[in-house]
Amino acid sequence: MMKMERSYSELIKLNTFEDRFEYCALHGIVGAETFGSHRFMNQDFYRRPEWKRARRAVILRDNGCDLGIEDREILDRIYIHHLNPVKLEDLVNSSPLLFDLENLICVSYSTHQAIHYGDSSLLLHDYVPRRPNDTCPWKR
Beta pairing partners, 93: none
Q: Is there a domain that residue 137 lies in?
A: no
Of 81, 90, 89, nearest to 55 by C-alpha is: 81
Is residue 65 helix, strand or coil? strand
Q: Is residue 129 part of a domain?
A: no
Domain that holds residue 26: 8-124
pLDDT tens for each residue of 54-104: 999 999 999 999 999 998 999 999 999 999 988 888 888 888 999 999 999
Q: Answer yes or no: is pLDDT of 139 > 60.
A: yes
Mean pLDDT of 10-26: 93
pLDDT in tens, 92-114: 888 899 999 999 999 999 999 89
- The total number of structural domains that make up the chain: 1
CB 102 within 8 A of CB 4: yes
The answer to the question of residue 58 being in a domain is: yes
Q: 113 lies in a domain?
A: yes
Question: What's residue 40's pLDDT?
Answer: 67
SS3 32: coil
pLDDT in tens, 113-124: 899 887 677 676
pLDDT given at position 31: 46
Residue 62 domain flag? yes
How many angstroms separate the CA atoms of 60 and 101, rounded? 11
Confidence of residue 1 (pLDDT cuts 50, 70, 90): very low
Give CA separation, 53 vs 59, 78, 100, 112, in Å: 10, 14, 11, 20
The greatest distance separating any two alpha carbons of the chain, rounded to the nearest whole angstrom, comes to 58
Judged by average pLDDT, the poorest of 40-44, 51-55, 107-111 is: 40-44
Closest to 23 measured CA to CA, from 34, 15, 33: 15
Considering only residues 49 and 92, tell me which one the structure prediction assigns the higher pLDDT: 49
Q: 91, 45 in Cβ contact below 8 A?
A: yes
Which has more pLDDT, 38 or 102? 102
The residues near 65 (Cβ < 8 Å, ≥ 6 apart) are: 71, 72, 73, 74, 106
